[in-house]
């Protein structure tokens, strides 16, 4: 077998840029999906039923669709239905945000529900409003409980961003695939892509482990 | 009777329970409780587990709604609106059975949270 690893070194510039796009996609998706998840979780707990039903419908729809299908749907169907055509990066970001917001919503909902009722009642008994109880008592405690899960979601998301390569977003997987098809160095590029994903993903997984140890709630 | 209570003995009671009833499904927790508590008076409720002591206190703080009767604080029935209930709660102190300290706050913050958040006093 004739292997030529020099193609990987020669492509370091595009691969580096692709890795940056992957990190950017991950960071932007989480930046949008964390507040999105909190809002959806609060909407699901709303006493005004139509709001709760809307949030439940949103979560159940986007949580149960395959992410790959969602990416295709956002790219091909959404522009037809809405008349809004977004560039591939924004389309991929939107699809990821819809999916991750739905997951984050469930994460936050479980975190909020895990805070025992007495904590809210103690806040109310002091004369706090419901929103003050939520902001000062419930959410800070829930945040600490869900942080390790959010960190795990981050690591999963980092890898899942490769799915937006199907709509030509220039992230790491797409870039590596492009170089592969141009150079015909399939084995080298796929191995390099795996190596880069692992090198970037492993430290994140270790950070998640650390977050679990430091912030995980033991009862 | 405390000196403060003796001083206030001729004034109308601070807290009045008139035939208060509360049930959870078929379980009757409070069955026509009537009680007058004057300012400064110390009242102990004694009874076996499940006899409704905590329920009565929770109803007093409007953490539970009563099914019948009336609770009056300083001569006025407990209000229904959230904002009005908050004003009453700010004038009551309640210690929970399991204390319910806020674990994400320091001891000082736990003590001060009522003053800083509710009374808006500077830290």
A121–B100: do the CB atoms touch at under 8 Å? yes
Residue B71 lies in a domain: yes
Q: How many domains does chain A have?
A: 1
pLDDT tens digits, one per residue of B68-113: 999 999 989 999 888 899 999 988 889 888 888 999 999 999 999 9
Residue B60 lies in a domain: yes
CATH number at residue B85: 3.40.50.300
pLDDT given for residue A218 in this prediction: 64
* The three-state (H, E, C) secondary structure of B1-32, written as one string: CCHHHHHCCCCCCCEEEEEEEEEECCEEEEEE
Residue whose pair of structure tokens reads 């206190």 in the numeric block: B57
Residue B123 lies in a domain: no
Length of chain A in terms of residues written = 219
A141–B89: do the CB atoms touch at under 8 Å? no
Global pTM? 0.82
| DSSP structure class, residue B77 | E
Residue A175 belongs to what domain range? 10-215
> Distance between CA B75 and CA A80 in Å, rounded?
65
**ipTM exceeds 0.90, yes or no:** no
CATH number at residue A151: 1.10.3720.10
Say which of A118, A119, A136 has its CB closest to residue B117.
A136
Low-confidence stretches of chain A (pLDDT < 70) are: 217-219
A125–B118: do the CB atoms touch at under 8 Å? no
Mean per-residue pLDDT for B20-39? 94
Give B24's strand partners.
B27
For residue B89, list chain A residues with Cβ-Cβ distance below 8 A.
124-127
Residue A165 lies in a domain: yes
Q: What are phi and psi of B76, to 5 degrees?
A: -115, 140
> Distance between CA A68 and CA A166 in Å, rounded?
8
Best residue in B60, B96, B104 to probe A by mutation, most A CBs within 10 Å? B104
pLDDT given for residue A219 in this prediction: 61
Q: What are phi and psi of B121, to 5 degrees?
A: -75, 145
**Which residues does A85 contact at the CB level (< 8 Å), separation at least 6?**
A79
Residue B96 lies in a domain: yes
Residue A187 lies in a domain: yes
Residue B82 belongs to what domain range? 3-118
pLDDT-derived band at B14, boundaries 50, 70, 90: very high
Residue B97 lies in a domain: yes
Element (H, E) at A207: helix A186-215
**Is the model more confident about B46 or about B123?**
B46
Residue B79 lies in a domain: yes
Element (H, E) at A93: helix A88-114
pLDDT-derived band at B1, boundaries 50, 70, 90: low
pLDDT-derived band at B119, boundaries 50, 70, 90: confident
CB atoms within 10 A of CB A70: 20
Residue A96 lies in a domain: yes
For residue B63, list chain A residues with Cβ-Cβ distance below 8 A.
121, 124-125
pLDDT given for residue B2 in this prediction: 72
CB atoms within 10 A of CB A65: 15
Q: How many domains does chain B have?
A: 1
Residue A31 lies in a domain: yes
Residue A20 lies in a domain: yes
**Which residues does B80 contact at the CB level (< 8 Å), separation at least 6?**
none
């Amino acid at each position: 077998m004739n292997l030529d690893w020099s193609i990987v070194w020669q492509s370091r510039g595009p691969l580096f840029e692709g890795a940056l796009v992957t990190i950017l996609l991950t960071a932007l998706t989480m930046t949008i999906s964390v507040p999105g998840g909190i809002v959806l979780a609060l909407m699901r707990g709303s006493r005004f039923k139509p709001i709760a039903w809307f949030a439940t419908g949103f979560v159940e729809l986007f949580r149960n669709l395959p992410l790959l299908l969602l990416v295709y749907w956002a790219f091909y169907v959404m522009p037809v239905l809405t008349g809004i055509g977004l560039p591939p990066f924004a389309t991929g970001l939107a699809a990821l945000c819809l999916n991750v917001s739905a997951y984050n919503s469930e994460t936050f909902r479980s975190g909020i529900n895990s805070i025992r009722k007495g904590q809210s009642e103690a806040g109310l008994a002091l004369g706090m409003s419901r929103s003050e109880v939520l902001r000062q008592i419930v959410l800070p405690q829930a945040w600490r409980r869900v942080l390790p899960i959010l960190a795990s979601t981050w690591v999963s998301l980092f890898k899942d961003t490769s799915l937006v390569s199907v709509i030509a977003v220039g992230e790491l997987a797409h870039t590596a695939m492009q170089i592969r098809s141009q150079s015909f160095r399939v084995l080298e590029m796929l191995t390099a892509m795996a190596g880069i994903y692992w090198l970037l993903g492993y430290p994140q997984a270790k950070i998640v482990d650390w977050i679990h140890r430091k912030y995980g709630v033991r009862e | 009777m405390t000196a403060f209570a003796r001083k206030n003995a001729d004034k109308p009671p601070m807290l009045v329970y008139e035939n208060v009833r509360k049930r959870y499904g078929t379980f009757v927790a409070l069955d026509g409780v009537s009680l007058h508590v004057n300012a400064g008076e110390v009242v102990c409720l004694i009874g076996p587990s499940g006899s409704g002591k905590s329920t009565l206190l929770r109803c007093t703080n409007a953490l539970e709604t009563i099914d019948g009767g009336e609770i009056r604080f300083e001569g006025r029935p407990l209000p229904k609106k959230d904002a009005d209930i908050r004003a009453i709660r700010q004038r009551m102190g309640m210690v929970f059975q399991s204390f319910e300290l806020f674990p994400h706050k320091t001891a000082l913050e736990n003590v001060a949270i009522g003053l800083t958040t509710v009374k808006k006093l500077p830290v």
